[in-house]
């Protein structure tokens, strides 16, 4: 099983993301993939506000974005083959506030893969990764492998010839 290239991972994650109705509803987009790190973007929307006086986003919206990002980062891991992975658990520390009017980014990567469990960590931020507004860790269970034959055979810059 070759390690997928960045562009193959981007195609895979973009298709997965588009097939998740709630992610599409919130306008969650794939921002970038850099090796094993996936970044998603959530545009600011007034119906996602938690504090009506300040216009800041609801903490629960970060839960949705981080669950989505950490969960999809599992298919970007080079240490295991892309799998169908339901969430086992998720822990979020709220380090700051998501400011009004700004898109939120979330980046995540698998830091340990075992045969059955993928351990993932990630952050949510607005302006800079150096100033995260939330930090998440969680574990995902590998229940079935994803068929990648279509993406490996169709991609021109596959990692192996």
Partner 1 sequence: MTSRSNARDKPCLETLHHWLEKIPYAMFLGIKAEPSKKDIIFILPKNKKFIGNPSLPALHGGVIGAFMEQAAALHLVGSMDAAALPKIINFSLDYLRPAQLRDTYASCILSRKGRFISNLTITAWQEHINQPNAIARAHFLTPETN
Q: Any contact of residue 106 with partner 1 (CB under 8 A)?
A: no
| Nearest of 75, 68, 130 to residue 60 by alpha carbon | 68
Whichever of 52 and 156 has its CB closer to partner 1, that residue is: 52
Q: Judge whether 157 and 141 are in contact, CB under 8 Å.
A: no
Q: Any contact of residue 68 with partner 1 (CB under 8 A)?
A: yes
Q: Any contact of residue 83 with partner 1 (CB under 8 A)?
A: no
Shortest Å distance, C-beta 71 to partner 1: 8
Cα within 13 Å of Cα(30), Cβ side = 23
Tokens linked to 157: 């810059």
By CB under 8 A, name the one of 44, 67, 109, 118 that touches partner 1: 67
| Nearest of 65, 73, 61 to residue 139 by alpha carbon | 73
Tally DSSP H helices, then E strands, for the chain: 4, 10
User: How far apart are the C-alpha atoms of 142 and 84, rounded to whole Å?
Assistant: 6
Q: Any contact of residue 63 with partner 1 (CB under 8 A)?
A: yes
The contact mask relative to partner 1 for 110-139 (x = CB under 8 A, - = no) is ------------------------------
Q: Judge whether 152 and 128 are in contact, CB under 8 Å.
A: no
Shortest Å distance, C-beta 101 to partner 1: 14
Q: CA 43, 46, 50, 53 torsion: positive or negative?
A: positive
Shortest Å distance, C-beta 1 to partner 1: 24
Whichever of 5 and 75 has its CB closer to partner 1, that residue is: 75
Q: Any contact of residue 58 with partner 1 (CB under 8 A)?
A: yes
Residues within the interface to partner 1 (CB under 8 A): 19-23, 25, 46-52, 57-61, 63-68, 71, 86-94
């Amino acid at each position: 099983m070759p390690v997928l290239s960045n562009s193959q991972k981007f195609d895979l994650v973009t298709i997965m993301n588009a097939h998740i109705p709630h992610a599409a509803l919130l306008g969650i987009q794939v921002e970038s993939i850099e090796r094993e790190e996936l970044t998603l973007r959530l545009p600011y929307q007034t119906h996602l506000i938690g504090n009506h006086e300040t216009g800041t986003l609801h903490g629960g919206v970060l839960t949705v974005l981080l669950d989505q990002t950490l969960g999809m980062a599992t298919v970007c891991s080079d240490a295991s083959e892309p799998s169908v992975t339901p969430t086992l658990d998720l822990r979020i520390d709220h380090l700051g506030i998501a400011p009004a009017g700004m898109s939120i980014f979330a980046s995540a990567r698998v830091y340990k893969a075992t045969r059955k469990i993928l351990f993932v960590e990630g952050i949510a931020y607005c302006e800079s990764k150096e100033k995260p507004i939330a930090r998440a860790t969680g574990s995902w269970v590998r229940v079935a492998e994803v068929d990648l034959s279509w993406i490996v055979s169709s991609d021109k810059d596959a990692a192996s010839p």
